[in-house]
Amino acid sequence: AQTVTQSQPEMSVQEAETVTLSCTYDTSENNYYLFWYKQPPSRQMILVIRQEAYKQQNATENRFSVNFQKAAKSFSLKISDSQLGDTAMYFCAFSKLTGNQFYFGTGTSLTVIP
């Protein structure tokens, strides 16, 4: 079975600062995908970043980057130059390479303080 754990229910960061959200997962698969989704108050699920486990290079998308440690089964999200619009719930998710379902963590509520 696949499990995703987010151990930080809430976090806050000053505007323009950097924050890192933690995620660990458990799987027996060797190849898979990992994701970070953002859920603002509108509740729309927005894909922030995706990492393919067979790629050693960490994914980056503008101010968002990940630290993927495959051996440790760790997948943290770093948000640089935090903006007020980054305030949201952030969910870490896992998908098998051939799977049809995503496995989500319980989320981290991030507040950016002006």
Partner 1 sequence: NAGVMQNPRHLVRRRGQEARLRCSPMKGHSHVYWYRQLPEEGLKFMVYLQKENIIDESGMPKERFSAEFPKEGPSILRIQQVVRGDSAAYFCASSPETSGRLFREQYFGPGTRLTVT
Binding site for partner 1 (CB under 8 A): 4, 6, 33, 37, 42-47, 91, 93, 95, 97-98, 100-107
Q: Please identify, using beta-carbon distances, which residue of 68 and 91 lies nearer to partner 1.
A: 91
Q: Are the beta carbons of 74 and 65 closer than 8 angstroms?
A: no
Nearer to partner 1, 19 or 105 (CB): 105
Nearer to partner 1, 14 or 106 (CB): 106
Tell how strand 24-26 and strand 88-96 pair up: unpaired
Chain-centre distance for alpha carbon 61: 12
Closest CA to 32 of 109, 105, 113, 102: 102
